[in-house]
Structures are given as structure tokens and as C-alpha cells.
Structure 1
Amino acid sequence: MSAGEAPVAAGVGAPLVDTHGRVHRDLRISLTDRCSLRCTYCMPEQGNEWLAKSSILTVDEIVQVARVAAADGISTFRLTGGEPLLRADIVDVVRRLSAITGPDGARVQVAMTTNGIRLPELLPGLVAAGLSRVNISLDTLRRDRFAALTRRDRLQDVLAGIAAAAASGLRPVKLNAVAMRDVNDDELVELVEFAIAHDAQLRFIEQMPLDAGHTWDRDRMVTQAEILATLSTRWVLTEVPGRGGAPAARWLLDGGPHTVGVIASVTAPFCGDCDRLRLTADGQLRNCLFSTTEYDLLPTLRTQPAAVHDEGIDRMLRACVHGKLPGHAINDPAFLQPARGMNAIGG
């Protein structure tokens, strides 16, 4: 079945259920492929081919898609990039998305993953606009390492963003760290202690094959087992039950209340409970972070009559869900890394 061809025209308002029985409730919306950092595991320092400005979805188009998705049962929108705070209209995006309600009349949740650099200036407006939660990327607490890893000397700006989030009413604040061998694997305990001091939850992420240069090496990856072994030298870890569709498995530290999470997409995939879809900044629907197939919404949004937009969006959402595989197959010898880098897919 070709991308965009839906097997069943269930109609707007029916749940988004794939052929493996997974009900989809989460849509990751990438707002831009541009970023103020150049993390080595995400994008090259120079020579990036940015998405054409004319292909980037407008706020109206994002809201159109989100409104239909919410009617179909999507209850959480996570704004990603690139760096979502680079969008000049970011507060308007949050305000308009947070006003959307689902079939039960409840407002959707709007979360964001960011590098935190612009949070001190923008967070008050984002909270007032309806932002529910924020995740901030922080791979190291050492300035020299941060500069080498991101190719930008901006650690103090990120730390200021984390402080702003900690001082806000948003909870939980989550800090995401990609664990990398011989890069930051000697900081794992330190990063968790930093998170605790800022009333935040640290989540370690196994490095995944999503770099634009396709240089990922499985043998260089720090595994979940290694992360937990290191943390166990400092805390007694007790796994928290009831993970559901959440990407991170969590452990209580010394019985709580603080926790640490690990997103082990490579060594302990959670595909069987995945409830996420992704929308790229240029209007492509993806049913998996590692998918090699995309479902193009731009023709529906820009060439079809406005009167049939909802039906066309719904049909494309269902085609995307129907095409979802049981898992990402990273551990399959025939696995192919997506052509897009992480910044162009959206986290």
C-alpha cells in the first residue's frame, strides 16, 4: 500500500489504532530543522541543507492538523525541532494548540523539548499561553565538553534555561542526556545529582542511529545496563512499575521521591507500547522515529479545497497509522538508518 492510501475510511473522530492494536495518543510536532547548537550525534557543524522556508508549515496549518488529530484521540502534542524556540511565532503556536479540546472536551497537553537557551526570555509567555511541560537537553556539565559536543560555547545559557524552568510552575521538568562512551559516561552520577538539585528528572538516552553523518557505532553506545550499573554505585535503584507507553523506564533513587529514567531504544525497545506519531516541519507524517516512509500532508493542506481538509488530514493520519510496523528493527541486520537526521525528523 502506497504512502497516503488508507485501507479504511473510519472518519474523523474514530481512534487511531494500528494493525497491532496500539492506540495513538501522542503527536510530536517539529517546528523547524534549524538549531542554535550543532550536537555531534545530531547534525554536522557546516554544510547543512535546511528545509526550504516555503515548505515549513504555518501556524494555521499546524493547528489544522492538530485539531483533526485531537478529534481522533491525540491528547498530547510535543513541540520539537531542531530547536522549537527559534520559531518567532512559538508563543502563538503554544497558545493556539493548548486551546484545542479532544472528544471528551478536555484540553490537550502541550509539551516541548528544547535546548533551553531561550527559555529565560520566553518561558513566562509560554506558560501563560498554556505550555504544560518542558524537557531540556543537557549532556554534560563541563564547559569544555559542552563546547566540543555542541560546537558552541553555550553551556551557561542552557543552565540559565534550566534554572528558569526550575523556578517556573511547570512540573515535572525533565533533563535529557544522551549517554556517550568516552564523552560523558563519567558524569552520569553528577548529572543525576544536578537534576535532583533543580527538582528535575534526569532521563538518559541510549545513543541512536540518527546522526546526519551516519557515523553511529553500536559498539560505542553506552547501554541501559551500563547506565544502571554506574548509578547503582551511588543509589539503590527500584524500578517503577506501570510504564505504559512512556519512552523512559524509571527507577526510584534510594526509595524516592526522586527518580531517574532511561530511554533504551536500542537494547530494550518499547515498540510494543508505542503510541506516538511524528509530524515534520515540512508536513510529513512519520509513524516511527526510524521510519523510511513518510506521508505527505502538504498536497492536502495546500492544493485541496479547504472544505475537504479535515477529511484529507484524517485519511492521511489513518494511512500513516496503518503502515506502522511492529518495531523499528534496529537490531535487524538489514536495518537502514533514516535518510533524515534527527534535527529534520523531530525528537
Structure 2
Amino acid sequence: MVLATEYTDLLAAFAATGRNHPYLAFTLNGICDRDCVFCKPRCMPDYGHKDTVLSVPEYAAIARTAGQWGVRKAHCSGGEPTLHKDILDIIRALAEGLGTGAQIGMTSHGNFRKGLTVKGLAEAGLTYLNVSLHSTDPGRSAEIMGGGDPGISLATVKEALDLGLKAKINCVLMRSYIEDAFAVAALARSLPVAVRLIELQNIGPAEEMFDTEFIPEAEVRGLLGDWFTGAGEVSRADLGVRSPGRYLQPDGWKGSIGFISNSSCATCSDANRIKITPSGVARPCILHNQDIQLREHLAPGTLDTAFTHLFTAMLERNTNPAWGGYHYVDYDLRWDRMERPQGAAVFLPILATNSGAGCSVRQQQAGAGQ
């Protein structure tokens, strides 16, 4: 453990900002058995991983240290995380490491490989599940995702709810498929889920379609005006959401609708994810901050020093103008071999902080989060 006064002062400085405590966002792998039109992972020249990925004991060690820092949430994504051969053991290691009351989540397309079930994931420690669903129509869904069955995805959501897990549905907004997105959003009418409508981002394969397919949150809100008239806001605590985001519940609906709008309004200053790649590279910001190789701190037992750097870097989001700009969610975490600035995990001075600027309060609340 770091020196008690430094540790206490750093956590106090973070709490004073009024922001949510950081959580761990693990990208478990870079492979996927889908080929979504806005992602197309297999077209990347470095598809998959050539570096050694973290082992289950290494995930456990990172989680134990994070738990000592008050972290109580870990989220697993990919690629498709359910393709990881050790997915159950990883979920179990994260749950045990973070301790009692931890939230352990995962984003998946919901078409699990043979032998893997929602019940098995829940028994391992999963507490919530985000399912990617971009159309309820099988043919249209196949056009978007390159395969899979939306009926199975929806059945996965319902099974998660029956088992007492929190559930969210992620749907990317595209102009050609806007009616499909509205049909997905309408699932919240009868299901107690949070449907998150995600703006298309001008990155990777989506660059070629962005000019014609991008539709901003403001326009979508106008098209769904009847739904949102008189809608009540659902607290993040009720949804099991710790990250920035605003969720509205239309009158009489069982679920809610939220927006992730990183293209129309970047919200870096209020983000609270510490992203960790499959090989253990921690990135408090995927654009501007120096990476920390967590694996190098495992053998000498110096993970606390790395977390000191990570928490201090999160504080800098509120004062450092370099944090401005777009917060590209998860995209570049699928490949570890990109050239990035490397940082030494040294103790940094605690900075005075203030609230993020540049967006309205509503826009800040609509920031990205798992």
C-alpha cells in the first residue's frame, strides 16, 4: 500500500470533485465472430493479439489492488469477451478481487458459444449484462452485424433479467437503420432494461459511412418527442450505472432510454473508466495520457504505485486542456501493438480540480459509460 497520507489525500481529492469513483474497463480480447458494418474488426491489419494476454491470476492481482483503492466495478468487453476461453474464471477472479458488493459486467452480442450460459456467468459473479442489438429483424440484423440471431440476443437479455441481473441493450444509431433502432428502443416499453442509443463515431471502418449514416442525438430526440414528453429521469443508482449518462423513462414504460453521444458532445472530463488492454496496458485516457504497463508491477508488488498514477491522471481530466476532444470509446483497445506514449508510474502531485467545461450540464450527463 502507498503511504497512508498520500493514499488518503488522493482519494479525498478525487471524492471532492463529486464525480463517480473510477472503475476498471477490461478489453479481454480483440477477436469477434460478428462483422458489424461500423466495426469490421477482421479488416484491421493486426487483428487479434500477438502479445501475451493476461492470465487469470494476473486479473485477480489487479482486481485485489483496485479493491484496496475503493474500486467496486469492473466491466469486460472485447472483441467478443465470451470467446475468451477463461471468461468464467476471469469473472470469478474480478468478483473476488473487488470484494463484497462489487459490480461485474460484460458487453456481448448475446449469442453465446456452446456450453456458456447466463446462469454460469451469474454464478461466477456477473451482476449485469449489456447486449448489443441493432435490429429486431433477423435479415436487417444480419446486414448490420454480419450474422447472429437477434432472437437469441433478446432471449439472453430476458434470461439475465429472470436471474436478477441488471440488463442494458446497446444500439448504434445509423440513418439507414433508424427505424430498426427505434424498434430496439421500444423493447423498454415492456422490459425493465436500459436501451442505450449510441451515436456513430467517425473512426475506423465507420469513416466511410459517417457522412451519410451519422444521426445526432438532438435529431433523434426530436423524432422521439412523443416518447420523451413528460418522461421521468431514472437514477444511475437504480440502473446499476456508475458512469456518466442520462436515462429517461417514458410514462408507463418498464424500462428507460439513454444516449451515448461522443460524436456530438465529447465528455472526457467526466469519464471515469480506467481502460486495460488484453496484455495489461492501463490507459486512463486513450488519446492523451501515457500508458502504464501493469504487468511490470505484478512481480515486484508495486501495483499501488501504478494506481497512484492512474488516479492522479483521472484528476487531471478536469484541469488539463489536452483532455479536450473526442473520447473514442474502446475502439483502439482491441489491439495492443499501436505506438503510444509510455509513462512511469511515479507519484504525481495532487491537482486542484474543477468541473469540466465546454458542454451543457445535460451534455455532460450524456457522456459515455458502461
> What TM bracket, shorter-length normalisation?
0.7 to 0.9
Is the Cα contact below 8 Å between 2:57 and 2:93 reproduced in 1? Answer: no
Contact 1:33 1:81 in 2 (8 A): yes
* Distance in 2 between residues matched to 1:243 and 1:326, nearest whole Å: 28
CA distance in 2, matches of 1:327, 1:148: 38
Aligned to 1:200: 193
Match of 1:191 among 173, 184, 193: 184
For residues 232 and 213 of structure 1, the distance between their equivalents in structure 2, rounded to whole angstroms, comes to 28
Q: CA deviation at 1:170?
A: 0.9
Which residue is equivalent to 1:238?
Answer: 231
The residue aligned with 2:157 is: 162
Aligned pair in 2 of structure 1 residues 116, 92: CA closer, same or farther (>3 Å)? Answer: same
Could you tell me which of 163, 177, 180 is aligned with 2:174? Answer: 180
Compute the TM-score of the two structures, normalised by the length of structure 1.
Answer: 0.79
Q: Is 1:59 the equivalent of 2:56?
A: yes
Aligned to 2:360: none
Q: Are positions 1:15 and 2:11 aligned together?
A: yes
Residue identity opposite 1:140 in structure 2: S
Find the counterpart in structure 2 of residue 148 from structure 1.
Answer: 143
1:20–1:167 Cα change, 3 Å: closer
Could you tell me how far 1:132 is from its partner in structure 2? 0.9
Q: Is the 8 A contact 1:240 1:250 kept in 2?
A: yes
Range moving further from structure 2, 122-131 or 239-248: 239-248
Over residues 40-62 of structure 1, what are the superposed CA-to-partner deviations in whole Å (9 max), with x where a residue is unaligned?
Answer: 22234445523435421111112
Query: CA 1:17–1:59 in 2, change beyond 3 Å: closer, same or farther?
Result: farther
1:153-185 residue CA offsets vs partner (Å, 9 max, x unmatched): 4434423423432432212x1101011111x21
Of Structure 1 and Structure 2, the greater helix share is in 2
Deviation of the 1:135 alpha carbon: 0.7
Count of equivalent residues: 328
Change (3 A) 1:256 1:265: same
Kindly indicate whether residue 282 of structure 2 is the aligned counterpart of residue 285 of structure 1. Answer: yes
Q: Pick closer, same or farther for the CA change 1:338–1:95 going to 2, 3 Å.
A: closer
- Alignment match, 2:84: 87
> Does the Cα contact within 8 Å between 2:63 and 2:93 map onto a contact in 1?
no
Letter in 1 for 2:194: Q
**Which residue, out of 192, 214, 221, partners 1:228?**
221
The question of whether the paired residues in 2 share the 8 Å contact of 1:16 and 1:72 is answered with no
Aligned partners of 1:316 and 1:214: how far apart in 2?
34
* Structure 1 stretches lacking a partner, 5+ long: 1-8
**Percent identity over paired residues:** 24
SS at match of 2:249: strand
Does 2:69 correspond to 1:72? yes
CA contact (8 A) 1:238 1:255 kept: no
Q: For residues 242 and 153 of structure 1, do their structure 2 counterparts lie closer, same or farther at Cα, with a shift above 3 Å needed?
A: closer
Alignment match, 1:310: 303
Provide the residue aligned with 1:5 in structure 2: none
Report the equivalent of 1:6: none
Q: Secondary structure at the match of 2:105?
A: strand
Q: Aligned match of 1:274 in 264, 268, 271? A: 271
1:247 equivalent to 2:244? Answer: yes
For 1:158, the aligned partner's letter is S
CA distance in 2, matches of 1:266, 1:59: 35
The AA in structure 1 aligned to 2:112 is R
TM-score of the pair, normalised by structure 2: 0.75
Equivalent residue for 2:108, pick from 89, 103, 114: 114
Query: Conserved in 1, the CA contact under 8 Å of 2:32 and 2:41?
Result: no
Between 1 and 2, higher relative CO (CA 8 Å, sep ≥ 6) is seen in 1
| Per-residue deviation, 1:330 | 3.7
How far did 1:128 drift?
Answer: 1.1
Contact 1:136–1:174 (8 Å) recurs in 2: yes
DSSP 3-state at the match of 1:34? coil
Given that 1:177 and 1:204 are in contact with CA atoms closer than 8 Å, whether structure 2 keeps it comes out as yes
Q: Secondary structure at the match of 1:74?
A: coil
Secondary structure at the aligned position of 1:204 is classed as strand
- Any conservation in 2 of the 1:279–1:286 contact (CA below 8 Å)? yes
Deviation at 1:134, TM superposition (A): 0.7
For the Cα contact (< 8 Å) 1:297–1:316, is it kept in 2?
Answer: no
Amino acid at match of 1:310: L
Task: Summarize the Cα distance change of 1:13–1:55 in structure 2 as closer, same or farther, 3 Å threshold.
Answer: farther
Displacement of 1:92 in angstroms is 1.1
CA distance, structure 2, for counterparts of residue 169 and residue 262 of structure 1? 24
